[in-house]
A and B are shown apart, each in its own frame.
Chain A
């Protein structure tokens, strides 16, 4: 069966520090991969998506970047965190069709202090 792993679960980082969040998927090949952010009490905002190794599309200009070094690995990074980067970060995968739901990871709660 397919599983998605996301870590760490919680993270407290000072302003100006770097960030690396990792997401891996098991049990499937060639998944579409997505990074979302959810601010407190708000909806999910799509940050990045990828349809293949090395292919990244950004949805909103921001202080973050993403990479997909392997088929089932998706990384969210920042060189210098801002207070506004705080939030709940979610990784998700889907098959390469438009009529299937997403499977989300358990999320990372990031607090920038």
Chain B
């Protein structure tokens, strides 16, 4: 069955460092992969989308890579700040109608 895996353990880093989060998937051949940020008690917020023919995508301090051979996406936040603390979700389009399947998310805590 299709599966998306994100590290369930929280990632704790020091302010100013680069945070790297991993998303692995199996039994998918997604054309697109998306990343979202979710704060406690709030709905997820869309951050970035990357296509299968794009190896890397950047937006301000965010960078996403997409390796369809490894079936893996990496999400980087450079010069991290305490305000970046949140849960980050990886999502893949599954089937038609832009249906998204989400990973369970990785919680990031950036410490001053």
Contacts and interface: CB of A to CB of B under 8 A. Distances in A.
Contacts of B96: 98
A77 interface: no
For chain B, the bracket of interface size reads 20 to 34
A80 interface: no
Nearest to B100: A102
A107 B43 contact: yes
Interface residues of A, number: 30
A102 B92 CA distance: 12
A44 B91 CA distance: 10
Question: For A36, A46, A101, A107, which residue has the most chain B Cβ atoms within 10 angstroms?
Answer: A101
Given A98-B93, A99-B49, A101-B46, A43 B104 contact: yes
A7 interface: no
Interface in A25-71: 32, 34, 36, 41-44, 46, 49, 51, 57, 59
Given A42-B104, A43-B89, A97 B46 contact: no
Nearest to B107: A41
B45 to A, nearest CB: 7
A107 B49 contact: no
Interface of B: 4, 31-32, 34, 36, 41-47, 49, 51, 89, 93, 96-105
| 4 closest residue pairs by CB, A with B | A101-B46, A104-B43, A43-B104, A44-B102
